[in-house]
Amino acid sequence: MLFSVTMDVALPQNMNPDVRNDTLAREKAYSQELQRGGEWVHIWRNVGQYSNLSVFDVRDNERLHEILWNLPLFPYMSINVTPLAVHPSDIAKA
List the CATH number of the domain containing 77: 3.30.70.1060
**Which helix (H) or strand (E) covers residue 8, if one does?**
strand 2-9
> In this structure, is residue 93 part of a structural domain?
no
pLDDT score recorded for residue 80: 98
- Residue 91 in any domain: the answer is no
Residue 67's domain spans which residues? 2-86
Residue 84 near residue 55, CB atoms below 8 Å: yes
- Interval 11-38: pLDDT, tens: 999 999 999 999 999 999 999 999 999 9
Q: Give the per-residue pLDDT at 94.
A: 67
- Indicate whether 24 belongs to any domain: yes
Number of structural domains (the chain) is 1
**Of 39, 30, 37, whose CA–CA distance to 73 is shortest?**
30
pLDDT per position in the chain (94 positions), as tens? 999 999 999 999 999 999 999 999 999 999 999 999 999 999 999 999 999 999 999 999 999 999 999 999 999 999 999 999 999 999 987 6
* 32 part of a folded domain: yes
